[in-house]
Each structure stands twice: as C-alpha cells, then as structure tokens.
Amino acid sequence: EDQVTQSPEALRLQEGESSSLNCSYTVSGLRGLFWYRQDPGKGPEFLFTLYSAGEEKEKERLKATLTKKESFLHITAPKPEDSATYLCAVQARKGNTGKLIFGQGTTLQVKP
C-alpha cells in the first residue's frame, strides 16, 4: 500500500535556528514527490516537485532533497513568516491517474 509519513508532527524553532523536516514514503514506483506549504485557513500552496533520487531544489530559505525512501525539507535560518504546515505528497506510477497521496504534515512555528 502506498503510504507517506511525515515527522515530526510539530516543530518549534527560534528565528535563525536551522532544521529539517522528514517525509518517508513507500510507493509502487515513484512518479513524483511534492512539497506544499499550508497557512491556517488557506489551501495548500505548491513549493517543489522532485522526480528522482539525488535531486535537490531550492527556494529562498527552503531546500528539498530526495532519496529512494525519503525526502527532507531543510529550512535555513528560518523567519517567523516561515511558520506554516508543510505537506509532503507522492504520485505513484501505477494507474497514472495523477492522484497524490499526502502525509499528515509538519506544523512549523518559528518564534522571533
């Protein structure tokens, strides 16, 4: 069964304190791994797509990496405005329906 697990569930950081969020997945053939940011009361906002092990993508203070079993979202010197829930999702090759399977999310709070 395709599955996505994110850890930790919640993370509190001081401004400037770098850390990483984890997304572990089991999927029958990975077609793509997606990271989204979700602010309270809003819909998920797309951040990155990773397709193959070893791939990395960056956007401002965020860097996403991918291995064959997990992905990390590294946050360097975070600011309070980085506070949000970060969602990881995978798309499997099987069926080719475009469906995404989501993890439960990591809620990040960055204190000034």
Which residues contact other proteins by CB under 8 A? 4, 31-32, 34, 36, 41-46, 49, 51, 87, 89, 91, 96-100, 102-105
What is the closest distance, in whole angstroms, from the C-beta atom of residue 54 to other proteins in the complex?
16
Our CB check for other proteins shows the closer of 26 and 76 to be 26
Our CB check for other proteins shows the closer of 87 and 110 to be 87
Our CB check for other proteins shows the closer of 79 and 99 to be 99
What is the closest distance, in whole angstroms, from the C-beta atom of residue 21 to other proteins in the complex?
14
d(CA 78, CA 68): 27
Cα dihedral 26, 46, 8, 81 in deg (nearest 10): 170
